[in-house]
């Protein structure tokens, strides 16, 4: 039977079914029709020709639940090269425990009911690009050895990826002897891509393992998404993603970087990870941001954080690399290392709370310079990186130019109320006065501030005032001792005293003799 050639309604690369003009199903020879339009006898003959590990090409075919079940049973649930591009699954599609020994593609496929790949194993690459899932989509416990592509997919129901494994080299001893070992799917660290994916239901990735990158660029999560106990061997990328529901990114392990640059979170965003770099550049978190990090770096350049939020060091070191352009209503940094992070670029410094943070310090010991005074002893106090940059102490402050002393004074004043440590708050108050003195023009005001600084450290250095008091007391005592040391010798004074005493006695004796006479 020779079928007539015609143009397909869509630009497809396979010969389409001759049964009806609208059918995109691939034609099977010698019938010239797709599997869905074969007679029962022709379908039985097709199924008898199947063998385990055989390739399946059902592109564009309309597949009912019974038909796909009979096809999978015919290959004993072990498929070679699988092509289901633009296929339409009208009933539940159950691919549970199916082994795909070669590449599998479901690009532009449509699943009208449940799509279950529970425990399926993909020994090479798998692609679901622009697939449409009208109900639930489950890859729970699935294993993908090669690259997994879910770009532009739309899942109307829940998406279940719990305990799935992406990019593994081997799946157990039973597969070591496979002929495909060393083939195109044997790349050890492959990528799982969800670029511009749409998740309208709950998205669950709890316990999922990504041996390579997990890319969710510009993905949109309409409801809650969870990555609890997930593991990413490279980077987790969420650039430009939208979280309309709560997002639980952790506790999870990420080897390199968690990128949330440009994300928009309308609900609480929870981050719990460590040992990596966390990037929130230009992110907009309209809900609560709760980040618990350990041995990590965080970049909040240009971020917008609304509501009561906190970034907390759980263990190890938490280094903040940039806060330039940060606009936060009430953000608390706990245990953060701010020694090299400039604070001059904050849009609202009063919205920042600093708890148990580590700040920079002046250079210790005696300092020599060509200006006045030529010798200076720097006291130990906490300073922000911007002051170190301005003074030329080698700190790398904000990305922009170093602020002038007047701006630094205002910055210190606005940061002071948000510091929980009284000693740090006092150091910030000292820094504000010091920057005001440094920024004042030479004149009476600067002279008064200099005297105030010299006398008592702006009222914040009691030791300096006590030192001056001790110096005054020592000078006064020395003056008294000096005055006592310049008096005449004691002997002439005694003689004068004796003369003064003897004369009255002599006069008295002379008077007595006169009376007697």
Q: What is the 3-state secondary structure (H, E, C) of 337-396?
A: ECCCCCCCCCCCHHHEEEECCECECCCCCEEECCCCCCEEECCCCCECHHHHHHHCCCCC
Q: Identify the CA nearest to 160 among candidates 129, 103, 202, 121.
A: 202
Q: What is the pLDDT of residue 125?
A: 96
Q: What is the pLDDT of residue 470?
A: 76
Q: What is the pLDDT of residue 362?
A: 80
Strands 375-377 and 366-368: antiparallel
Residues sharing a CB contact under 8 Å with residue 299, sequence separation 6 or more, in sequence order: 277, 278, 279, 280, 281, 320, 321, 322
Q: Is the dihedral of CA 194, 259, 261, 227 positive or negative?
A: positive
Cβ atoms 103, 126 nearer than 8 A:
yes
Residue 281 lies in a domain: no
Residue 100 lies in a domain: no
Residue 22 lies in a domain: yes
Strands 203-204 and 225-226: parallel
Q: What is the pLDDT of residue 449?
A: 60
Beta bridge partners of 235: 257
Low-confidence ranges of the chain (pLDDT < 70): 1-10, 168-189, 364-379, 394-402, 439-447, 449-468, 486-517
User: For the stretch 50-79, what's the b/e string if a residue is b when 16 or more beta carbons lie within 10 angstroms of its beta carbon?
Assistant: beeebebebbbbbbeeebbeebbebbeebb
Q: What is the pLDDT of residue 329?
A: 93
Helix, strand, coil % in the chain, rounded to nearest 5: 25, 25, 50
167 vs 292: CA distance, rounded Å: 28
Per-residue DSSP letters for 474-487? HHHHHHHHHHHHTS
Cβ atoms 324, 398 nearer than 8 A:
yes
What 3-state DSSP class applies to 497?
Answer: helix
Domain that holds residue 374: 366-467
Domains identified in the chain, total number: 2
Residue 187 lies in a domain: no
Q: Which of 12, 33, 49 is the last residue of a domain?
A: 49
416 vs 20: CA distance, rounded Å: 77
Q: What is the pLDDT of residue 388?
A: 83
Q: What is the pLDDT of residue 237?
A: 97
What 3-state DSSP class applies to 297?
Answer: strand
What 3-state DSSP class applies to 204?
Answer: strand
Residue 439 lies in a domain: yes
Q: Identify the CA nearest to 166 among candidates 150, 137, 146.
A: 146
Per-residue DSSP letters for 32-69? TB-GGGS-HHHHHHHHHT--TT--EE-TT-EE-HHHHH
Q: Is the dihedral of CA 62, 67, 71, 77 positive or negative?
A: positive
Q: What is the pLDDT of residue 465?
A: 61
Residues sharing a CB contact under 8 Å with residue 258, sequence separation 6 or more, in sequence order: 235, 236, 238, 249, 271, 273, 276, 277, 278, 279
Q: How far is CA 244 from CA 224, 236, 364, 379, in A?
A: 8, 19, 50, 50
**Residue 210 exposed, middle or buried by CB count within 10 Å (0-12, 13-18, 19+):** buried
Structural element, H or E, at residue 259: strand 257-259
Structural element, H or E, at residue 328: strand 327-334
Q: What is the pLDDT of residue 172?
A: 46
Cβ atoms 232, 252 nearer than 8 A:
yes
Q: How far is CA 124 from CA 50, 106, 171, 321, in A?
A: 21, 14, 12, 40
103 vs 190: CA distance, rounded Å: 14
Residue 425 lies in a domain: yes
- C-alpha neighbours within 13 Å on the C-beta side of residue 38: 23
312 vs 323: CA distance, rounded Å: 15
Q: What is the pLDDT of residue 183?
A: 41
Cβ atoms 349, 414 nearer than 8 A:
yes
Interhelix angle 444-456/462-485, rounded to 10 degrees, is 80
Cβ atoms 242, 269 nearer than 8 A:
no
Residues sharing a CB contact under 8 Å with residue 275, sequence separation 6 or more, in sequence order: 253, 254, 255, 294, 295, 296
* Greatest C-alpha distance within the chain: 186
pTM metric for this prediction: 0.81
Q: What is the pLDDT of residue 399?
A: 54
């Amino acid at each position: 039977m020779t079928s007539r050639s015609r143009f397909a309604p869509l630009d497809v690369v396979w010969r389409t079914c001759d049964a009806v003009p609208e059918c995109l199903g691939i034609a099977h020879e010698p019938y010239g029709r797709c599997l869905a339009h074969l007679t029962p006898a022709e379908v039985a003959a097709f199924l008898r020709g199947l063998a385990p590990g055989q390739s399946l090409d059902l592109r564009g075919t309309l597949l009912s639940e019974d038909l796909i079940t009979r096809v999978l049973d015919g290959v004993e649930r072990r498929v070679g090269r699988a092509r289901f591009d633009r296929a339409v699954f009208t009933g539940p599609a159950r691919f549970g425990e199916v082994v795909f020994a070669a590449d599998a593609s479901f690009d532009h496929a449509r699943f009208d009911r449940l799509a279950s790949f529970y425990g399926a194993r993909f020994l090479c690459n798998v692609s679901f690009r622009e697939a449409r899932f009208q109900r639930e989509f489950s890859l729970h416990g699935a294993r993908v050895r090669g690259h997994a592509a879910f770009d532009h997919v739309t899942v109307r129901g829940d998406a279940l990826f719990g305990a799935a494994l992406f990019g593994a080299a081997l799946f157990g001893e039973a597969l070591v002897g496979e002929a495909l070992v060393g083939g195109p799917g044997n790349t050890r660290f492959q990528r799982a891509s969800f670029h511009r994916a749409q998740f309208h239901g709950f998205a669950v990735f709890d316990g999922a393992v990504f041996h390579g990158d997990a890319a969710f660029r510009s993905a949109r999560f309409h409801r809650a998404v969870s990555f609890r106990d997930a593991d990413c061997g490279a980077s987790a990328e969420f650039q430009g993603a939208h979280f309309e529901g709560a997002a639980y990114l952790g506790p999870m392990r990420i080897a390199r970087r968690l990128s949330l640059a440009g994300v928009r979170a309308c609900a609480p965003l929870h981050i719990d990870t460590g040992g990596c770099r966390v990037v929130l550049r230009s992110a907009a978190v309209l809900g609560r941001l709760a980040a618990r990090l350990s041995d990590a770096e965080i970049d909040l350049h240009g971020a917008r954080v609304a509501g009561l939020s906190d970034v907390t060091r759980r263990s190890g070191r938490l280094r903040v690399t940039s806060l330039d352009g940060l606009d936060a209503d009430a953000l608390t940094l706990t245990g953060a290392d701010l020694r090299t992070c400039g604070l001059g670029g904050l849009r609202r410094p009063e919205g920042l709370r600093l708890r148990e943070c580590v700040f920079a310090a002046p250079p210790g010991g005696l300092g020599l310079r060509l200006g006045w005074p030529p010798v200076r002893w720097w006291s130990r106090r906490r300073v922000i990186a911007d002051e170190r940059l301005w003074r030329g102490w080698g700190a790398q402050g904000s990305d922009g130019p170093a602020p002038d002393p007047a701006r630094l004074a205002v910055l210190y004043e606005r940061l002071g109320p948000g510091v929980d440590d009284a000693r740090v708050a006092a150091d910030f108050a000292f820094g504000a006065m010091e920057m005001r003195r440094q920024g004042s023009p030479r004149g009476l005001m600067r002279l008064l501030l200099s005297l105030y600084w010299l006398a008592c450290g702006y009222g914040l250095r009691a030791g300096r005032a006590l030192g001056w008091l001790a110096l005054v007391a020592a000078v006064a005592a020395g003056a008294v001792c000096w005055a006592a040391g310049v008096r005449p010798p004691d002997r002439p004074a005694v003689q004068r005293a004796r003369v003064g005493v003897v004369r009255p006695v002599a006069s008295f004796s002379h008077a007595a003799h006169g009376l007697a006479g």
